[in-house]
Amino acid sequence: MGEVVRRAEELVQRIMRGWDASHDAFHAFRVRNLALSLALQENLTSPDTLEIIELAALLHDIGDYKYVRDASDEKMVERFLEENGVDDWKREKIVGIIDAMGFKNEISGVSCNKSLPEFGVVQDADRLDAIGAIGIARCFTFGGNRNNVLHDPEIKPRLELSKQEYMKKDEKQTTLNHFHEKLLKLKDLMKTEAGRRMAEKRHKFMQDFLSEFYEEWDGKA
């Protein structure tokens, strides 16, 4: 493990320690491990490429708008990379990946650096951690932390969301609606073949869970 990666792990643990368990250091470490696994499956094996992927995956949530307290926090990754002597060209790629990988950018049509192979594996890894069994657990953890209603049949999912609507922090939605508004869409947004293969099983698990949930909600199971 390189020294910069070790320091990135320390930064992640320090900054994300007070966040809820849907976006904690374990999430960052899972995304890192998934991204490196996808990279090998996609034949991305050069040391420079793997370092870019590992650092982008570890640091991707440090400036997350859902958790930052002031505008200066959004530049924390750039400051960290500069202070730790990461080459300019690597720094540019890492920051570019992080800035573009969010779902809010996808629904707004913002260019997502799709030509960068590093971008695809990091974004796919983050999205894989948002679906399947862990994705379900994270979804309910986040919803509970925000005091969202578990489910209300009268509140319909917002299937066509703008970036502004998606980012509203003060608009209460049900936790179940988040599956329809985002999580069930992620399988078809994977950028890599390896990511698509892994997403199939996780997507099916969510579908089965939701079918059971709605049957139990209606007293049919």
Give me the pLDDT at residue 108, please. Answer: 59
Give me the pLDDT at residue 113, please. Answer: 60
Give me the pLDDT at residue 1, please. Answer: 67
User: How many CA atoms within 13 Å lie on the side-chain side of 211?
Assistant: 6
- Determine the Cα–Cα distance for residues 186 and 138; give it in Å rounded to an integer: 15
Which domains, from first to last, does the chain contain? 3-217 (1.10.3210.50)
DSSP 70: S
Give me the pLDDT at residue 104, please. Answer: 73
Give the chain's residues under pLDDT 70: 1, 71-72, 107-115, 161-171
Q: How many helices (H) and strands (E) does the chain have?
A: 11, 0
Neighbours of 80 (CB within 10 A): 20
